[in-house]
Amino acid sequence: MGREVILVTGASSGFGRLSAEALALAGHTVYASMRDTNGRNASQAEAVGHFAKDNGVDLRTVEMDVQSQLSVDAAVEKVFTANGRIDVVVHNAGHMAFGPAEAFTPGQVADLYDINVVSTQRVNRAVLPHLRRQQQGLLVWVSSSSSAGGTPPYLAPYFAAKAAMDALAVAYARELARWGIETSIIVPGAFTNGTNHFARAGSPDDQAVVDEYEAGPYAGFGAWVRAAFDAIVPPDADVSAVADAVVKVVDTPFGERPFRVHIDPAQDGADVGFAVLDRLKVEMLHRVGLQDLLKPARLI
């Protein structure tokens, strides 16, 4: 594959940062997007610059708050103006929250959906007009094994949001195929090291409800769940495997990219669950005569 122009969302840390670096090392022009590059993430933006210089790669930062359409529009326009095209978008931006579902306010749940789901819609509305005019492109969605595998409690709002994002990715895949735009969904399992998911996880605002759970039959349950995660994830699980999977998808020729790629050190069964769910959707498309939507059209 040649050099692609790639926009990665939520690239200040974790999967996004690792993927941006790995894609740049693979020879692509990569924009690591993050919000507040002159404030909270100033040190992260500076680190991206150092990485690019030290490794002689084309890795750049771009200011983008995925919760603001104005910010997303400006970032996408900046990338497109600088390169005359955008080839790949990696939907990675997201945020985890941990605690009893009842203790999260409706506003908190809505905010989690905004970050994990609605943000992808903002980015798509900004970038897809460019991809459709180009008649070729790739959307890479970083999903979660929680959407079809075994899951513990106390992560309900986050898991619900990731399931919604995955469903949106599947629907978009069919609606973009005739435009020549391809879709691949990366499905990471639990990684307790190498990301900031748990360290930066949000917590419920309704402390009174949290206290009731802690004083009742779920006393100490949160700590137990964290310990259980640590126990089932192999100590040598390397989070960079997710970034490697993203690079492999991008570097695979058009029309040959896998629809899903699973990277799950805990083996929670999502590969089995998604195999069934995706097969049912494929069979329905065949039944109604829309099987052409299963592969992107080659228009150029």
Q: What is the DSSP string of 248-274?
A: HHHHSPTT---SEEEE-TT--SHHHHH
Q: Is 101 exposed, middle or buried (0-12, 13-18, 19+ CB in 10 A)?
A: middle
Helix (H, G, I), strand (E, B) or coil at 80: helix
Q: Is 158 a catalytic residue?
A: yes
Q: How far apart are CA 289 and CA 153, in angstroms?
A: 40
Burial class of residue 81 in the structure, from the number of CB atoms within 10 Å of its CB (0-12 exposed, 13-18 middle, 19+ buried): exposed
Q: Which residues pair with 141 in a beta bridge?
A: 91, 185
Q: Tell the residue number behind the tokens 């699973």, with chain if given.
A: 262
Q: Which amino acid is at 262?
A: H
Q: Which of 31, 158, 172, 213 is catalytic?
A: 158
Contacts of residue 195, Cβ cutoff 8 Å, sequence gap at least 6: 13, 14, 15, 239
Among 156, 263, 173, smallest CA distance to 213 is for 156
Backbone φ, ψ for residue 139 (5° rounding): -110, 125
Measure the CA–CA gap between 21 and 17, rounded to whole angstroms: 6
- Cβ neighbours for 298, distance < 8 A, ≥ 6 positions apart: 180, 254, 255
Residues 249, 254, 255: CA angle, nearest 5 degrees: 100
| Residues acting as catalytic residues | 158
